[in-house]
Amino acid sequence: MTLTVGVIGLGAMGAGMARTLSGGGFSVQAFDLAEEARAHMAQHGVTIAENASAVVAACDVIVLSLPLARHVQDIIDDAFAAGALADAGKTVIDTSTSEADISRQLAARLSAAGHGFLDAPVSGGPQGAATGSLSMMIGGDAAAVAAAQPVLDALASKVIHVGASGAGNIAKLVNNMLVACHMLTTAEAMRLSEAAGLPAEDALRVINSATGRSAISEVHFPTWVLNNSLNSGFSAGLMRKDMRLALELAQQAGCDLPVARMVAQLWSQDRSGLSDNDDFMQIADLRNKAKLDG
């Protein structure tokens, strides 16, 4: 039986996932508040629903790609109010970078109504979404994972079931906290290398064969920094949000993170000079010697 899959949120990530699912043989329905996003998806053969609750009502598996946890809550609240969750057996996959406590609350509420909920944040950016090569870190019960497995496999080349509800959110925040740190430390290292007379490209050849390497040095710098394109598709605003959520999680857990606090300050608009809409790679612009000064 072919699953009917819904995608709610058609930004860079959601649009890529909707196209991947449609191309993978799934029947896909989608919705976004933005008319332009809806029109773009319709051109790719995706059925556009009247509203988000209509997507939930019509689909077996619903993929959410939304900016904030409160937006996810709103979708679920509206779906319950509209009767879209009256028939049991649906599975909601929240790919947003969200909050563990809220994911646990939503999972419990949906479970009581006979539905599954997975917090399944992703890594891999718009390119990964468009090619079905994302990495997904999943929190939720095994039955919900099994029900959603065909969809998960279509969207991701790596699917890691981390643990119970909320575990996926925690793993994503820990990962992105490291990304924020690695971006700054790698940018500083490249600035030092160039200031001392060794081009960044040559320094990276050494770093990426030694112990200083990371995904930032191996992928991000060669792809988006050395050629000065600085257009990864991930915004500085999203990085700030992820750092804020990581620090809030640390406070809840009673965990002191002095380095992360300093990194969050360096990512602020005042310190970095980047607006929320700027690509986060711009903080590593080796042409702009003012970045990270102070």
Distance set, CA 237 to CA 215, 280, 281 (Å): 20, 8, 12
Which among 120, 123, 140 is positioned nearest to 13, based on CA atoms? 123
Q: Where are the alpha helices (DSSP H) in 62-166?
A: 69-81, 100-112, 125-131, 142-155
Catalytic site positions: 172
- Count CA within 13 A, CB hemisphere, residue 208: 15
- Count CA within 13 A, CB hemisphere, residue 121: 24
Length of the chain: 294
Which among 7, 1, 36, 37 is positioned nearest to 21, based on CA atoms? 7
Strand partners, 5: 28, 61
Asked whether the beta carbons of 267 and 243 are under 8 A apart, the reply is yes
Could you give phi then psi for residue 266, rounded to 5 degrees? -70, -25
- CA 53 vs. chain centroid, Å, equals 23
Asked whether the beta carbons of 114 and 138 are under 8 A apart, the reply is no
| Strand, helix or coil for residue 7 | strand
